[in-house]
């Protein structure tokens, strides 16, 4: 079994990083790799590893070689999406500084769409079961459209999203609220496969 994991708000508390940047007077639109030097200059004791969500380290220590982190460099705020090269560099450095790679996870930073990276993973691993975990609806749907088992990380505990007409959406996907719930879900899937 291979685990395809999103980085922001799945493995890493991006909202906390944004709050830290705001507290330091560093605008969110500053998305190049130099932003991390500016953060450390203002707070030399700050560690990106501290923003990795609970239970992620244990999972990566056990399953790191079976994890593929496919992370989008795009932001939900349009004003942050002006320089894709700088965004990709920013995202790659953020992932590196978080330390999640140290357990052998394969990291792939993409622009706006994850489909190509997901297809590459499918081609590389053939018939092996793939499980995808993301917090953003379009990516969860992209993976499902490719035939990858998709799980929605719903940290806010919404239970569903409402579409433009107000109809609940995302009900067709398994939902977890944190990484501990994801681990329990995986364990239950593994028992079924035994």
Give tens-digit pLDDT for 146-160: 999 999 998 887 766
Contact 149, 133 (CB under 8 A): no
- The reported pLDDT for the residue numbered 79 is 55
The domain 2-193 belongs to what CATH superfamily?
A: HAD superfamily/HAD-like (3.40.50.1000)
Tell me the helix, strand and coil percentages in the chain, rounded to 5.
45, 20, 35
- The reported pLDDT for the residue numbered 143 is 95
Q: Could you say which DSSP state residue 64 is in?
A: G
Return left, alpha or beta for 129; rule: phi > 0 is left, psi -120 to 50 is alpha, else beta.
beta
- The reported pLDDT for the residue numbered 33 is 72
pLDDT digits 0-9 by tens, 56-69: 999 999 999 999 99
- The reported pLDDT for the residue numbered 134 is 95
What is the C-alpha to C-alpha distance for residues 60 and 62, in angstroms, rounded to an integer?
5
Domain boundaries, the chain: 2-193
Below-50 pLDDT ranges, the chain = 81, 194
What is the C-alpha to C-alpha distance for residues 105 and 41, in angstroms, rounded to an integer?
29
Contact 152, 22 (CB under 8 A): no
Q: Is the pTM of this model over 0.75?
A: yes
What is the C-alpha to C-alpha distance for residues 5 and 70, in angstroms, rounded to an integer?
6
What is the C-alpha to C-alpha distance for residues 192 and 132, in angstroms, rounded to an integer?
18
Q: What is the b/e burial string over 141-179, where b = at least 16 CB atoms within 10 angstroms of the residue's CB?
A: bbbeebebbbbbbbeeeeeeeeeeeeeeebeebebbebb
Contact 126, 87 (CB under 8 A): no
- The reported pLDDT for the residue numbered 85 is 80
- The reported pLDDT for the residue numbered 75 is 56
What tokens were used for 118?
A: 């997901």
């Amino acid at each position: 079994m291979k685990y395809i994991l999103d980085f922001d708000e799945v493995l890493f508390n991006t909202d906390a990083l944004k709050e830290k940047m705001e507290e330091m007077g560093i605008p969110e639109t500053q998305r190049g790799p130099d932003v991390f030097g500016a953060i450390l200059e203002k707070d030399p004791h700050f560690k990106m590893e501290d923003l990795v969500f609970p239970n992620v380290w244990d999972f990566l220590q056990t399953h790191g070689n079976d994890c593929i982190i496919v992370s989008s460099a795009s932001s939900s705020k349009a004003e942050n999406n002006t320089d894709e090269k700088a965004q990709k560099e920013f995202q790659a450095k953020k992932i590196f500084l978080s330390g999640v790679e140290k357990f052998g996870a394969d990291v792939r930073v993409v622009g706006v769409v994850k489909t190509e990276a997901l297809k590459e993973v499918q081609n590389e691993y053939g018939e092996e079961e793939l499980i995808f975990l993301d917090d953003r609806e379009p990516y969860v749907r992209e993976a499902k459209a490719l035939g990858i088992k998709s799980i929605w990380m719903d940290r806010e505990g919404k239970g569903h999203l409402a579409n433009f007409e107000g109809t609940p959406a995302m009900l067709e996907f398994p939902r977890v609220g944190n990484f501990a719930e994801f681990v329990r879900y995986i364990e239950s899937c593994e028992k079924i496969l035994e």
